[in-house]
Amino acid sequence: MANDVTIWYDREDDYLEVLFEQTEGHFRATDNDAIMEKVDTDGHVIGFSILNVSQTKDQAPLSVTLRDVAD
């Protein structure tokens, strides 16, 4: 797994994106309408995004489990 994490926040759209790897992938829905997982072609989580992130401050913390794509 790469050591670099890319964090991007768009204040105007209140959108946060965190990427653990800079690789091809796509976003898929989660149980929370505001949160999307970014997965690679093998289905490993390589990032996530949160829409309206400032409105989540009263919710439970987001938990992400990372798996090394080499496994």
pLDDT in tens, the chain (71 residues): 446 899 999 999 999 999 998 889 999 998 888 889 999 999 888 999 999 988 877 766 666 555 554 54
- Diameter of the chain measured on Cα atoms: 38
Question: What was the pLDDT predicted at 32?
Answer: 82
- pTM for the structure as a whole: 0.74
Asked if residues 28 and 19 have their Cβ atoms less than 8 Å apart, the reply is: no
